[in-house]
Amino acid sequence: MNKKIAFLFPGQGSQHEGMGLDFVEASAAARERYGQAEEILGRPLLDLSRPERNQELNLTLHTQPALYTLSCVIAEFLQMAGIEPAATAGHSAGEFAALTTAGAWTFETGLRVIAVRARLMHEESTAGTMAAVPGLDPGRIAELCESWTHGLVRVANYNSPKQTVITGEVEAVQAFSAMLKDHGARRVIPLNVSGAFHSPLMKKAQEKFAAFMENIEIHPPRIPWISNHTGDPVFEADEIRRHLVAQLCGPVYWTQTMDWIAAHCDAAIEAGPGKVLKGLAKACHEELPCFNAGTVEILKESIAQTLPACV
């Protein structure tokens, strides 16, 4: 019996120096995709991966389109090798490549959409910060956020039963982080981000993004696309649009997303740079095999391990 493989697409934070360079060197198809991306964006996207421009790669404005492009390239590599996804899911910015692979829009449309999202978030990203809280119960963190009255703090990501990310105003997040240690948190890790993503501080960006999305054509995905907003599949175009807009200010329910994946798929592949989602997959469902594909070499190893089970 063929096994069902989910493609998981990483979000902001998984970018790193050199990402994508080996794919472009190895594949004409990858070079074509990057050429399309650079033509659409009007800037040399791949150059951001080079060491001298690494700081620019970490800017939200550039990070999201760069991750999207490489993730789509990796997904196409997997499909050309004969591995077809039974479902797709993306962590925050990863949702857009997941929609492309699920057939909800073209590569070009998805790139234009995420480029606008990145620009709007970049423009509103000066007033806040984020921090990861490992170990402490996610429900308890959410309760503490609700009762907090010393500035804006919200849960940004329910990443796993073992990790939650908070978001909000800089001073409020710092004070809230100190308070969490009194409630059993062994550590709170400030994240190297440029804003309070997935919080009400993104409201202006959300409103502009909603207006932009009204004119974007979306098709029903040909396979399940699992929404961060609920952790369930969404097939209707208007619902997909609503979920993508809501995600800007609302939390990422990645634990629930992985619950669905584990219940309906036999394994997963992280179709993007880094190993963040593999780690979260293990933390959510240790029994679910999850493979990486962030470099050509690792992708080939993962294909060798997963392809026999898919055919």
The answer to whether 224 and 264 have CB atoms below 8 angstroms apart is yes
Q: Which of 198, 229, 243, 285 is catalytic?
A: 198
Residue type, 270: E
End-to-end CA distance of the chain: 8
The answer to whether 119 and 63 have CB atoms below 8 angstroms apart is no
Q: Is the four-CA dihedral 59, 228, 103, 214 of positive or negative sign?
A: negative
Q: How many CB atoms lie within 10 A of CB 18?
A: 13
Cα separations (Å) of 98 from 46, 168, 195, 305?
21, 27, 24, 22
Please choose, from the candidates 272, 283, 284, 282, the residue with its C-alpha nearest in 3D space to the C-alpha of residue 12.
272
Backbone angles phi, psi at 225, to 5 degrees: -110, 120
Q: Which of 49, 92, 227, 302 is catalytic?
A: 92
- For the question of residue 198 being annotated catalytic, the response is yes
- For the question of residue 194 being annotated catalytic, the response is no
Q: Is the four-CA dihedral 310, 277, 143, 245 of positive or negative sign?
A: negative
List the catalytic residues: 92, 198
